[in-house]
Copies of this chain bind each other. A is one copy, B any other.
Amino acid sequence: MSLSVDIRHRLGAFSLDAVFETGGRLTALFGPSGSGKTSLVNLIGGLLRPDEGRIVAGGRVLVDTGTGVFVPKHKRRIGYVFQDARLFPHMTVGQNLRYGRFFTPASERYGDMDGVVELLGIGHLLDRKPGSLSGGEKQRVAIGRALLASPRLILMDEPLASLDEQRKAEILPYIERLRDETKIPIVYVSHSAAEVARLATDIAVLDNGRVAAAGPTSEILQRLDLLPAEERSEGGAVLEMRATGRDETFGMTTLASPAGEIHVAGLEATPGSTVRVRIRARDVIVATERPRGISALNILPGRIAGIASGNGHFADVTIDCNGEAVSARITRQSAEMLGLAPGLPVFAVVKSVTFDRANTAKTVPFAGDDRNARGRVE
């Protein structure tokens, strides 16, 4: 499944000129407020007709101003979670949830109502009208409504913005499963680097209507310079690792890669499976000698590949750990004190609790046209 966007569109004084292509399962749109994320999603969803350009999703031309193709929105089979929930005020929550389902041929339906309702914790709201729901409740119903339409393309515009961490923690795995177990491509707008790092297979960074960068998550997150200053502490290395062992006493999983072994708590991964692990630059301590007697379990030996300290007080150190790059963000003072220089052998020290549960690659195999072979959720 691929998404290819090449469009130009004017909105008042704002002009969107976005070109990118992604083959990923979940493409995150990332960028500051007003950079054109919602507009881009509206173009993909058919709510806006571009002044010029072409959008192709999974081989299907959704719009092409050159040939005059414009698939109307109701034929795109999208599940759009709007930034403003947009629930139908005259229907109950239950009716809102069932709305899209009604228009889906029974044979193409997936996801079951009860499961989604339970996941989102909106069972007690089914008979209410949306008018008096709380902000987070509205948002959850909006997510449910979009998912239950059994879409072939999911567009989510900051779906978790008004939810508490607990709720997010419940919903994120579901989105991961959607991403991994079904073949439905997802376009996901978020301001949270943590969310993006966890969910996205690909990222497109928007800035003032232009695509500043686009590519696989590991690439984009590693390039701290692509991220806005405040997001950089969320940036870092993404390593593909293999689960090699499991300690049941402490619930620890051992992951291995050429860079070395790391130990992760609370990760359910069958030995042998591949796991993506993100190591945030701000969570890495650089040591010139192997530390002893410390609680941090993960100590990766390596050599300094480069030091960048353009930005004020901090230095971004890249460590080559047996061919894999790990980034560390430390103070300039530390870098100087430790006498860090390219080529110096060092240790990257990481606390295990800072690992996110990462993208496991145990997806159903991709099989030709996604219309025929669709995975089932629940």
Contact = CB atoms under 8 A, between A and B. Distances in A.
A349 interface: yes
Interface stretch (A161-169, A179-187, A271-279): A161-169
Contacts of A334: 295-297, 352
Most buried by B among A39, A134, A157, A266: A134
Interface string A135-155: 111011000000000000000
A38 to B, nearest CB: 6
Interface stretch (A20-28, A68-76, A217-225, A281-289): A281-289
Contacts of A32: 136, 164, 166-167
Given A33-B162, A193-B165, A295 B335 contact: yes
B12 A313 contact: no
Interface residues of A, number: 80
A292 B287 CA distance: 8
A352 to B, nearest CB: 5
Nearest to A30: B164
Interface stretch (A100-108, A109-117, A229-237, A361-369): A229-237
Contact of A338 (B193, B230, B295): B295
A331 interface: yes
Contacts of A118: none
Contacts of A314: 265, 353
Contacts of A329: 353
A263 interface: yes
A300 interface: no
Contacts of A168: 230
A250 B297 contact: no
B83 A135 contact: yes
Contacts of A352: 331, 334
A178 B292 CA distance: 45
Given A34-B137, A38-B135, A285 B295 contact: yes
A11 to B, nearest CB: 7
B288 A296 contact: no
Report which residue of A39, A128, A329, A352 has the largest number of chain B beta carbons within 10 angstroms of its beta carbon: A352
Nearest to A294: B287
A261 B220 CA distance: 37
Interface string A285-317: 111110111111100000000000000111000
Contact of A136 (B34, B135, B139, B331): B34
Those 9 A-B pairs whose CB atoms lie nearest each other, nearest first: A33-B136, A265-B313, A288-B293, A165-B230, A250-B333, A295-B334, A286-B295, A295-B330, A287-B294
